[in-house]
């Protein structure tokens, strides 16, 4: 089934468009880089963010690629000319994956416009691996962070990513589980067919439980074929040459922290122009004095209570730091996109940069045109930094 994201057109136009684009190999055109807003050079305290900066906003032309509840959108170009997409999905009809998920769902596209649903390629309801075990919680929690009802019986999967590892000539999926009788954490699956649709099996390092004891794991392959595991949210380790497990102790990334480090998640790494770019997701908060900042999330500073902090939650942003090695030391973080947090960056077939987004539904006060739907943002590079291409 093909899903065209231009769903605002009339039905007849959709049919005509589908007949034209099914065989199309080109990527959607990007906006002209000319007449883009300048990048602000105004000095401010490290940790503060001017949320009104026009160059950091999600372009108004960015719309969902298709209508499906999805978080943590991940897209990458495979070796076969297809773009592959995955992300956190819930069971049909539900708006949460806190306690239940079908597993890893996959889509593919030749042109970033028309997406084919490939179904569930790692099924929690069919697997006989440890990921299929249920966790019986005793926390008495009845709703998730967005007020959706959840069960005490839990088995889920969060933030999957699909990577074609060139040195192994096959696909790997890294995903995480927040609660499981075999442990909380991230794990890696290998495609035994060399194809994105699998079938997938656990690598040796996580055949009995997570390979890393926290969520939001990621993989990064360097130019020489070396693969690194990026751990939530400040750790890195080299993988074994055969991708069977971790080859060295985890090392804390050498970052430049804010005055008070807040909760940061969704780490992802890519390389461009010889630099390593560490992408992370972070919440901004509207402070009582009118400023917006990333490092005021803890009680006793700008806010006295958790309730006040929750009411001041503004935007789920993309921040990036750069380094000359994957271990660091990394530069100060800069804001790349406001409101597009927990995402990844990828190049299309024409060499253009894009980043993904989904629209976090948590109770922030930033106005957003859509929530929990997959989308991509055209990006431009300015002096080695990445910003959205505005309409």
Instruction: For residue 104, give both structure tokens.
Output: 């890893």
Distance between CA atoms of residues 340 and 319, nearest Å: 10
Instruction: For residue 64, give both structure tokens.
Output: 């969902």
Q: Where are the alpha helices (DSSP H) in 174-218?
A: none
Q: What is the pLDDT of residue 149?
A: 96
Return the SS3 of 236. Answer: strand
pTM over 0.95? The answer is no
The residue extents of the domains of the chain are 44-388
Residue among 191, 185, 218 nearest 203 (CA): 191
**What is the pLDDT confidence band of residue 18, given thresholds at 50, 70 and 90?**
very low
Q: What is the pLDDT of residue 365?
A: 86
Instruction: For residue 82, give both structure tokens.
Output: 């297809």
Q: What is the pLDDT of residue 26?
A: 61
Statement: residue 8 has pLDDT above 60: no
pLDDT in tens, 163-182: 999 999 999 999 999 999 99
Distance between CA atoms of residues 54 and 281, nearest Å: 19
pLDDT in tens, 25-84: 467 767 667 789 999 999 999 999 999 999 999 999 999 999 999 999 999 999 999 999
Report whether 389 contacts 59 (CB < 8 A): yes
Statement: residue 5 has pLDDT above 50: no
Q: What is the DSSP letter of 120?
A: E
DSSP 11-46: HHHHHHHHHHHTT--SPPPPPPSTTPPPPP-----B
- Cβ burial of 273 (10 Å; 0-12, 13-18, 19+) is exposed
pLDDT in tens, 255-310: 999 999 999 999 999 999 999 999 999 999 999 999 999 998 788 888 989 899 99
Block residue for tokens 């049909």: 92
Instruction: For residue 124, give both structure tokens.
Output: 């929690």
Q: What is the pLDDT of residue 2?
A: 42
Residue 291 CA to chain centroid, in angstroms? Answer: 27
Q: Does domain 44-388 have CATH number 2.115.10.20?
A: yes
């Amino acid at each position: 089934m093909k899903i065209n994201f231009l769903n605002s057109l009339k039905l007849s136009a959709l049919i005509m468009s589908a007949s034209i684009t099914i065989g199309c190999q080109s990527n959607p055109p990007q906006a002209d880089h000319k007449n883009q807003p300048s990048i602000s050079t105004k000095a401010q305290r490290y940790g503060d963010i001017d949320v009104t900066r026009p160059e950091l906003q999600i372009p108004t032309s960015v719309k969902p690629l298709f209508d499906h509840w999805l978080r943590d959108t991940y897209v990458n170009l495979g070796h076969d000319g297809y773009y592959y997409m995955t992300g956190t999905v819930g069971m049909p009809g539900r708006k949460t994956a806190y306690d239940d998920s079908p597993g890893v769902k996959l889509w593919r596209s030749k042109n970033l416009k028309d997406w084919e649903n490939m179904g569930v390629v790692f099924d929690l309801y069919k697997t006989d691996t440890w990921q299929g075990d249920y966790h019986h919680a005793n926390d008495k929690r009845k709703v998730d962070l967005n007020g959706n009802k959840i069960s005490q019986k839990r088995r889920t999967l969060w933030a999957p990513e699909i990577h074609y590892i060139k040195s192994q000539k096959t696909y790997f999926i890294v995903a995480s589980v927040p609660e499981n009788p075999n442990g909380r954490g991230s794990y890696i699956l290998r495609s035994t067919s060399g194809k994105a649709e699998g079938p997938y099996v656990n690598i040796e390092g996580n055949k009995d439980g997570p390979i890393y004891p926290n969520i939001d794991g990621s993989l990064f392959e360097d130019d020489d074929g070396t693969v690194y595991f990026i751990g939530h949210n400040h750790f890195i380790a080299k993988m074994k040459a055969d991708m069977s497990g971790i080859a060295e102790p985890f090392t804390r990334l050498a970052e430049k922290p804010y005055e008070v480090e807040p909760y940061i998640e969704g780490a992802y790494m890519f390389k461009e122009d010889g630099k390593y770019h560490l992408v992370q997701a972070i919440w901004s908060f509207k402070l009582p004095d009118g400023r917006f900042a990333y490092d005021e999330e803890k009680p006793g500073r700008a806010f006295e209570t958790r309730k006040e902090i929750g009411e001041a939650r503004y935007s789920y942003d993309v921040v990036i730091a750069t380094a000359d090695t994957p271990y660091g030391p990394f530069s100060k973080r800069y804001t790349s996109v406001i409101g597009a947090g927990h995402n990844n960056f990828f190049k299309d077939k024409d060499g253009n940069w894009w980043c993904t987004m989904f629209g976090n539904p948590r109770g922030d006060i930033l106005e957003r045109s859509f929530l929990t739907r997959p989308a991509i943002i055209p990006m431009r590079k300015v002096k080695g930094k990445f910003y959205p291409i505005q309409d």
